Amino acid sequence: MSHIATNSIERLEELAAWHRANANHAGSVWIWDARLRAAEDLERQAAELRAQLRRHAASRLDQAA
């Protein structure tokens, strides 16, 4: 599971970076704003997934002890 989750986190972060980088090339303010909001949402999803992965790992360590 951790390999799949790690790949998912990396992909979300790559997409967020793309949206941030391309926000500067937006032809209008509303497109710029939408891309930044999309980047923030993707970053939030990556952070939540990372937190879930850490909780899962900690839980497994507790069970092993």
Contact 10, 47 (CB under 8 A): no
Q: Range of 17's domain?
A: 2-64
How many separate domains does the chain show?
1
Residue 65 has pLDDT above 70, yes or no: no
User: What is the pLDDT, as a whole number, of residue 63?
Assistant: 76
Contact 49, 9 (CB under 8 A): yes
Q: Give per-residue pLDDT as tens, 31-52.
A: 999 999 999 999 999 999 999 9
The two structure tokens encoding residue 4: 């799949």
Contact 37, 16 (CB under 8 A): no
Q: Give per-residue pLDDT as tens, 2-39.
A: 787 889 999 999 999 999 999 988 889 999 999 999 99
